[in-house]
Each structure stands twice: as C-alpha cells, then as structure tokens.
Amino acid sequence: MNASSERSASLWGRHSSIEAPSLEANATAEVAVIGAGIAGLSIAYELARSAKEVVVLDRGRIGGGMTARTTGHLASELDDYYHVLIEKRGVDAAREVCRAQIEAVDRVETIVREEGIECDFRRLDGYLFLAPGTEPTLLEKEYEAARRVGLEVAWADRAPIPGVRTGRCLRFASQGRFHPLKYLDGLVEALRRRGARLYGDTIVNDVAEEGDGGVVVRMAGGAEMRVRACAVATNSPFNEVEVHYKQAPYRTYAIAGRVPRGSVEDALFWDTLDPYHYVRLQPADDASDWLISGGEDHKTGEADDMEVRFALLESWTRAHFPSFGAVEHRWSGQVLEPVDHVALIGRSTTGRNIYMATGDSGQGLTNGVAAGRLVAALIGGRELPYAEAHDPQRAVRSAVKEFVVENLDAARKLAEKVTPAEVGSADEIKPGEGAILRQGLKKLAAYRDPSGAIRSVSAECTHAGCIVSWNPFEKCWDCPCHGSHFAPDGTAINAPAVEPLGGQNS
C-alpha cells in the first residue's frame, strides 16, 4: 500500500497502468532505487541510460505515491521565491538551484522527444501576479532576483486571467506542463527496454552499508538485495534521522473542473498569497480543458477543516476564472518543505553509497527530475555543478529561525502523549471517522468502519513516536512530525514510517 490507498483520487487517477510483481526472494543488482515516483523513476532512468543494472522497489503500486497527487506544473520559477533564497543561501547557491530547475524542464522535454512519450507535454508561459494584501514590492524583488540568478523574466501589463485585473505582473517564459502519470508510464517502458527490473508491493524496512562498501536492502518479508549503491526516493526518507530536522511536511489541496476550450489561456498562474494559489490547464476533449487549481496548504496533521479549505479554493477559482464548471475532482497531496528552501538531494549520512532525494517543496516534479541527474552522476563518480547547493548534509545556519520553528512543532507533537484525548469514548466516533482515545497512560487511534465496528491501534507513529491525527478528508492517520501516513487500520502507507501502528485490536 502507498498513498494511492488514501480516499481521494487526482485528475490523473489513482495510479498509472503499470503492473509489477512483488519481490519475495533474495536478489542482487548494481543499484537499487526505493520509491517509484518521479524522483525514483528519474534516478533509475538516468542510471539505466548509462548501462547500470537497476532495480526499482515500491511499497505499493508503481506510480501510486505522491507524484500521482501533484498538479503537473513544470516550473523553473521558485515557489519560495529567488529573492528569499538569495537572502538565506546567497546568490551563488540560488544560481545553482535555478540552473537545476531550468535543466530539469529541459530534460523532461528531451526525454519526451527521445523516448516518444505521449504525456501532453507543452512549453508555456508562467505568470506571477500580486494578490490583494500582499507586499507591494514583492514582484520588484523577485524580478531583480530572477535576473541575477539567470532566469528569463519580463514584466507584463497583466496576467491573461479573464476574471480579474491583476495589474502588472511577472512573466516567466519556457515553463511547462504534462500529465505526470503518462510520463511515468513512458519512463517505465524506457526502463524495461533497457533491462531494469521493477517490483511493487514490496516494503523495504532497512538499508545499510556493509564493511566492503556494498549496501544491503532488507525487505519486510525477509528477502535481501545486495547492491553497490542505493537511492532512497520515498517522499520522506525512512532511513534518515538528521534530514527530518531540516524539513517539515505540509498538505496541499487541488480541484479540477472543465472550462470551454479557449476561455482560459494555456499558461501557469501563481499569486503571492501565503499559502499561494496555483493554476494550469490540462487537455480534456475537443470542446473543453480541465482547469486545475491548488492551494490552501497547512502543516500535515494540524487541520481538520478540509471542507472549508476546498470551499475557499473553489471560491477563489470561480472569482478568477468565471468559466470554471462543476468541481469534478478533489484531492490532496503532501510536500516536504526544507527550511532553507532547497531540496535535499545527494549522498546520505547513513553511508557513502546510499543516496537520497527529498525536500520537494512546491517543485516536486522538477526536483524529482533534477534528482535523477544528480544522483546518477554521483553514483557514476561525477558531480554536477549544482550538487553542492542540494547536498543533504549541508548546514542550515542560514535558516535558523525556520529550523527552530519547525522542530518546536515536532517537539510539541511529541508532548501530546500526555494531553487529553479528543473524545471520551469510542461511542462518540461516527462511522467512517477516527479520533484519539486515551487508555490509561496510552493514546489510541480509533476508527469506526462503515459497518460500525471499532478498530483501535496505538496512536504513536512508528517512526519517531509522535501522536498521529485523523485526516477526515483522506480517511487516514497523518503524523504531523515527519509526514508518515497510515491507513485506518494502522498500515503504513507513506514514509518515513515502515511499520504499522502498534497494538492492533478490534
């Protein structure tokens, strides 16, 4: 099981069409890649192109993780803004990040062309416009910063949005969009042509470097795989400790409805609210396009007002795009926000031949593609010019305030072990809902299924012991500390947790 087990399904569907068996026997390979989303499959693809023997493992369906819950933006403009990144990391690091983003979009275009992938890829403009009540000078700051880091940017009199006069805004050329799962399908076909092996429904619970520098990958069923190198690309890495102090999980929301073909310009749109809104089109049929709108983010596990957030998102969308029809799809996803705004891609602290890709922020697709190039280069003994900026082992001194805030939140959630329960008894829990109960000194995560039966498990996340929270929209348990998700029965469905919530009983 992976994130495809959560209740909602995106416009793209619950998972791609890829079938892959589980791995139940011992095996060997040159490289193991754990995680079969955009990052994992991009890493595997780049390695396979260089004639490496590659095996891909995923805890659920191939392509069924967080990549299936994105909105398919391919943007080189940074969602946290380049002027903020320059303040935190300096202009040299910001230039490296910008180069990585630009080259990621270029790489998608090249792969689509060379592999013949039909995924609705298109180059288009992106527009950043000022939202009411936000800092008036923000666009000027970002314009100057974008020029300093080498990103193509120009002023436009207004964003081409039919429902609102945005005023002067920034236009970023050569952005992109695609259907993410069609793209993953294409990567898998290309991998299989090159001899790569893919396994789904295979839980990896340990990765360790051995004395000779090799890596052993241990599966929950007892099988082991020995490889020369291993890359962990599981949204939030399950084999790390330090990295969890450098990022925090956030839920983001998206809706999709039809607009008449030609009523909205095919472009990317972002406003300057915090959290910001983001919009794009996706071809639907000869007469209409899908308009996808996202936003209303919050820290994972720290909200239960999802219906209010969807209502706000729909209201904002209709105000800006009057031709927007009925909402036909609603979904959520999770992003990992690094405290210094740059993804953590490179060599892990757990071993010289163990690598990682996380901290996707709002650039998950481009960072995933960049991870493919970065990790494959490192495994091949090379280092790309932007490797240093993304190094997971970097210090976060430039983001001390964010570091302290995010880790105080985690500490507060750990302290909830001693706070009161959410309900006094299981009788208060409605069918299809969950809540936290107290049983003596312990807290239980109790879920009442549609038939009325109660299932209760330990409320302590099996990754670091934080108390989970019920997500009433996705019908799962979310860990607010590091982003683990669990099915109603306690089964782990998103990293970093591997083991199910303990003490299961009915």
Mean pLDDT, range 386-394, rounded to an integer: 96
What's the mean pLDDT when you consider all of the chain? Answer: 94
Confidence class of residue 441 from pLDDT cuts 50, 70 and 90?
confident
- Whole-number Å distance between alpha carbons of 221 and 224: 9
Confidence class of residue 403 from pLDDT cuts 50, 70 and 90?
very low
Give 453-500 pLDDT, tens digit per residue: 999 999 999 999 999 999 999 999 999 999 999 999 999 999 999 999
Cis before 160? omega within 30: no
Residues in Cβ contact with 95 at an 8 Å cutoff, skipping those fewer than 6 apart? 148, 149, 150
DSSP string, 202-269: --EEEEEE-TTS-EEEEETTS-EEEESEEEE-SSS-SS-SGGGGSEEEEEEEEEEEEEETTSS-SSEE
Residue 31 is encoded by which pair of tokens? 């490289």
- Whole-number Å distance between alpha carbons of 66 and 86: 29
The answer to whether the beta carbons of residues 476 and 487 sit under 8 Å apart is: yes
Confidence class of residue 18 from pLDDT cuts 50, 70 and 90?
confident
Spell out a b/e string for 184-221, using b for 16 or more CB atoms within 10 Å of the CB, else e: bbbbbebbeebebbbbbbbbbeebebeeeebbebebee
- Whole-number Å distance between alpha carbons of 71 and 89: 28
pLDDT, residue 413, reads 55
Write the single-letter amino acid at 286: D
Least confident of 126-140, 382-396, 409-423: 409-423
Is the Cα torsion angle 355, 359, 365, 370 positive or negative in sign? negative
pLDDT, residue 15, reads 56
Give 253-282 pLDDT, tens digit per residue: 999 999 999 999 999 999 999 999 999 999
291: helix, coil or strand?
Answer: strand
The answer to whether residue 506 scores a pLDDT higher than 50 is no
The H or E element containing residue 173 is: strand 169-177
Which residue segments constitute the domains of the chain, with CATH numbers given? Answer: 3-70+181-245+341-405 (3.50.50.60), 73-80+119-175+247-334 (3.30.9.10), 417-494 (2.102.10.10)
How large is the angle between the packed helices 138-149 and 82-89, nearest 10 degrees? 70
The answer to whether the beta carbons of residues 111 and 123 sit under 8 Å apart is: no
298: helix, coil or strand?
Answer: strand
- Whole-number Å distance between alpha carbons of 422 and 444: 10
The answer to whether the beta carbons of residues 142 and 170 sit under 8 Å apart is: yes
Q: What pTM did the predictor assign?
A: 0.95
Phi-psi region of 42 (alpha: psi -120 to 50; beta: other; left: phi over 0): alpha
Residue 174 is encoded by which pair of tokens? 């050569």
Give 152-185 pLDDT, tens digit per residue: 999 999 999 987 999 999 999 999 999 999 999 9
- End-to-end Cα spacing for the chain: 21
